[in-house]
Structure 1
Amino acid sequence: MTAGTVVVTGGSRGIGAAVARLLGEQGRDVCLSYREDAAAARAAVAGVTAAGARAIAVRADMSSPEDIERLFRTADAELGPLTGLVNNVGVLERQCRVVDLDADRLHRILTTNVAGYFLCARQAVLRMSTARGGAGGAIVNVSSAAARLGSPGEYVDYAASKGAVDTFTTGLALEVADEGIRVNAVRPGFIRTGIHADGGDPGRVERLARNLPMRRGGEPEEVAEAVVWLLSGRSSYVTGSFIDLAGGK
């Protein structure tokens, strides 16, 4: 079993919280970030500690370089050496067409969903790279089926940000493959999480489920299984790869 600390961004709810719980069950310490909901973050921490691992929650905005640096410094100080990063945090806004987007919205989406992933990965590589004295590790980027499907009429900006995450995953995987770091991504779609309510469509998964090959939406725990496998030694020869979790879509 892989030991060490894993940073999970956006770990207070949905996929992030499910990942944190499963890591705790496998004995891995977790530092999760959250932006606003302290109660949800405390519940996520409790889920990890109940399984016998250590966990902390750090309030940090993934659009802020200063907050990102503080997140990783806190993980260092309170939990110890980093061996994994789950770039999970993601934001979207209310459904609209491209013609109705504005520059401020694009800036908010791309800063968190793209720049935030880059900056978190940078902090992880600085700590884990064998070329820099680290012991190696794994990074898992949470992309989306939207990167393949485009989300027309809904969230083309969000889909484009996840397309950037896919390209970033490939490039970083090749860049650090000989430094003991594996980089992979999962592409969930139609998962029952609160992000759909953020977009103004809380019933989106149920509405679209009948059009999926599997005729159902997915659960955060199903995504977490793939993420934790990619973080583990069981996937030791896997890098630059993508796992689609969208019911066959």
Structure 2
Amino acid sequence: MGVRLNGRTAIVTGASRGLGRAIALALAAQGAAVAVAARTERVWNDKLPGTIGDTVADIEAAGGRAVAIRADLTDRDDLPRLVEQARAAFGPVTLLVNNAAFTAPGRPPRPGATRAAAGPPTTAAPRADWPPFVGTPVHAFRRHFEIAVFAAYELMQLVVPDMIDAGGGAIVNISSVASRIPGAGPYRDFSGGVLPGYGGSKAALEHLTESAAYELQRRNIAVNALSPSQAMLTPGLSYYRTDFDDVGSEEDFAEAVVRLALVDPQTVTGRTIGHRQVLDGSFDPFGP
């Protein structure tokens, strides 16, 4: 076990699988006590493995401290409850990782709900293409923002008082290159795809990162967005596509989160940074 984050209490959203799980494990391995937050308490789709209990079990098996907290980030009542339970378990929250996003279709069942009401069956095949703009209903578009932007906004507001009282803290918002795709037109290559809901919510999250960082720098709170420098074959992305030539490591990405949890906000804040840049130190801490 490392010691870089000893004494810190962290919340990681979307931590039942994929990058969230890797981030929770990495923070705990460096001494943080981690509130593992997500909706999934049992596997409801074979293509989306992992539960909050599984992540906690892995952390505890490695000698770390963690608590599983079921939270649906589209439910406004769940947000203060998540923070209150994390605080009750481990003390003031001084590290927040807003990782949760709406990716694969369907939703895990609420406690007591039937599988049929929850979403696609466990035998559902991956979609062969990206969700189209014209074919994405507005309620699905809105859900991206409810999870990646509105929930992140409120969670940041809820934990900042703890960070101010503690004399500092860090917020890491997980973004994506999808926020910059497809870029300005006109277009000549139509072989790829765009994710208007997912990408749009990530672009908004990056601006929220800058806005919060501007206000919180004087409070010794760093607020940064971390974007994968390569494709990450998380269960959510793999639901749609697996044919990437350059694939990154979830463990490397999680290490980049650890490093951003330790930066001096007078040097690095309000930034959207690729995880490889964090790991190799190639980014200019004072540049754009």
Q: TM-score, normalised by structure 2?
A: 0.75
Q: Which secondary structure state, in structure 2, belongs to the residue aligned with residue 82 of structure 1?
A: coil
**Is 1:35 paired with 2:39?**
yes
Superposed displacement of residue 125, structure 1: 1.1
Q: Alpha carbons of 1:156 and 1:55: their partners in 2 closer, same or farther (altered >3 Å)?
A: same
Asked whether the 8 Å contact 1:172–1:183 carries over to 2, the reply is yes
Correspondence list, 1:1-249, <5 A: 1-2=4-5, 3-38=7-42, 40-92=51-103, 93=105, 95-129=130-164, 133-150=165-182, 153-188=193-228, 189-197=230-238, 200-201=239-240, 204-205=241-242, 207-209=243-245, 216-232=246-262, 237-245=267-275
Shift of 1:103: 1.4
Measured in 2, the distance between the counterparts of 1:64 and 1:139 equals 21
| 1:233 Cα offset (Å) | 5.1
* Identical counterparts, % of pairs: 35
What is the CA deviation profile of residues 135-176 of structure 1, one whole-angstrom value per residue up to 9, with x for unaligned ones?
Answer: 310000001111122496341221111000111111110111
Shift of 1:235: 7.7
Question: Which ranges in structure 1 are unaligned for 5 or more consecutive residues?
Answer: 210-215
- Structure 2 unaligned runs (5+)? 43-49, 106-126, 184-191, 278-288
- Name the SS of the counterpart of 2:166 in structure 1: coil
User: Does the CA-based 8 Å contact 1:86-1:140 persist in structure 2?
Assistant: yes
Please report the TM-score for the alignment, with normalisation by the length of structure 1.
Answer: 0.86
The answer as to whether partners of 1:150 and 1:159 remain within 8 angstroms in 2 is: no
More helix by share: 1
> How far does residue 108 in structure 1 lie from its aligned partner after superposition?
1.4
Residue identity matched to 2:146: T
CA distance in 1 between partners of 2:181 and 2:275 (Å): 13
Structure 1 residues 180-231: Cα deviation after superposition (integer angstroms, max 9, x where no partner)? 211011112510110124xx42xx24x132xxxxxx2112112101111101
Give the partner amino acid of 2:68: A
Offset at 1:117? 1.0
Deviations 1:63-88 (A, max 9, x none): 12210110000011111121100000
Residue correspondences, number: 233
Give the distance between the partners of 1:49 and 1:222, measured in 2 at CA.
Answer: 21
Preserved contact between residue 150 and residue 160 of structure 1 (Cα < 8 Å): no
Root-mean-square deviation (CA, aligned residues, Å) is: 2.1
Q: C-alpha distance in 1, partners of 2:89/2:51?
A: 20
Higher Rg of the two aligned structures: 2
1:65 alignment partner, SS class: coil
